[in-house]
Amino acid sequence: MFIPLIFICVLLNYTSAQGVTSKTYKVEEYFKANWFQAYLFCRDHGMQLATVTTSADQEIFSQIQLAPSNEYAVYENYWVSATDLAQDGTYKWFSNGQPLSHNAAWKSGQPPELYVSVYEPKIDNVEDCVQVDAADLRWSSTNCSTLNYFICETV
């Protein structure tokens, strides 16, 4: 009984931005999920985790309101569909398989460079999923099991 009530409440919380891309975004800020749970939630509701593949997408995406609802709240991170789970170091949009563009909105120092040495083996840094910081809409990679809010888009 409790779980269906949460889903009903969540579906009523639409923060939409529409434009030439004809995408509608749904910002989930009632509960946090890991990247996989966020992906499944979006899919189960006829949507997908958000992608930003064109400059028009970026323009619309930048208009999404991710600010905290009051002055004492903190800015949060939100999942989008970008990941390098398929090939470490190669980030693609999971929802459509397209690579992230060269002018992606990464935070300084992101994505993290993997340390490779002839003396030490390469170690996967397990920061495979991409999150968006609400404070500046910049991207960073983090562990996919991190609990974040998330952004879905219409398919």
Q: How many CA atoms lie within 13 A of 64 on its CB side?
A: 30
pLDDT in tens, 29-71: 888 999 999 999 999 999 999 998 888 888 877 777 776 665 5
Domain 48-155 has CATH 3.90.1150.10: no
Residue 100's alpha-carbon distances to 15, 43, 46, 66, in angstroms, are 24, 21, 23, 22
21 vs 17, higher pLDDT: 21
- In order of 74, 126, 128, 151, the CA distances from 27 in angstroms are 16, 25, 21, 5
Q: What pTM, to 2 d.p., does this model score?
A: 0.77
Is 58 within 8 Å of 47 (Cβ atoms)?
A: no
Q: What are the structural domain ranges in the chain?
A: 48-155
pLDDT for 90-139, tens place per residue?
Answer: 999 998 899 988 678 888 888 875 434 444 444 556 899 999 998 888 99
Q: What is the pLDDT of residue 34?
A: 98
